[in-house]
Amino acid sequence: MDSTILILKMKRYVRGTSAHIFYLKQTQEEELFLFKMANRGDAFIADAEKIMKRTTIFGFGKSQKYEEGAEAFTKAGNAFKITKEWQKAGNAFIRAAECYAQTESPNDVCNSYVEAGNSFKNVRMSEFFFNIMLPLSYDMYL
């Protein structure tokens, strides 16, 4: 009787250990995924900046440049939302809205501002006030 109880306890221990190892492996994979997504967001920002620096001849291709830039900023914002970097996501969506404004696409402008607002909702209030509202109010009154 005692030997069967010991064998059952050993099986539970082995099962518990393998489950624990699986859990550790899963959390490491999640951390790696979030790290890759954060890097992808930064890469999208760099691509968007590169797109915005392109020059156009006599205004031809100007709207295409802003559309491509807005799409890259939107992709960056979505990548930052996945990693819960709300400040960077909100800033990326604001930049996308500014690009969409140049293409005269009011629906996309509104959607980008809504996404920025939803992202900034998740930022702590002190960070939001000092990093977003204070510089905006300072620029408005100059």
Helix, strand, or coil (residue 109):
helix
Structure tokens at 69: 């830039």
For residue 66, pLDDT over 80 is answered with yes
State residue 131's pLDDT score. 66
7-55 pLDDT per residue, tens: 444 444 444 444 444 445 556 677 777 777 778 888 889 888 888 887 7
Q: How many angstroms separate the first and last alpha carbons of the chain? A: 86
Report pLDDT digits (tens) over 75-102: 999 999 988 888 899 999 999 999 999 9
**pTM above the 0.85 mark?**
no
Task: Output helix, strand, coil percentages for the chain, rounded to the nearest 5.
Answer: 85, 0, 15
Fold of the 33-140 domain: 1.25.40
Distance CA 8, CA 12 (A): 6
Cβ proximity of 44 and 73 under 8 Å? yes
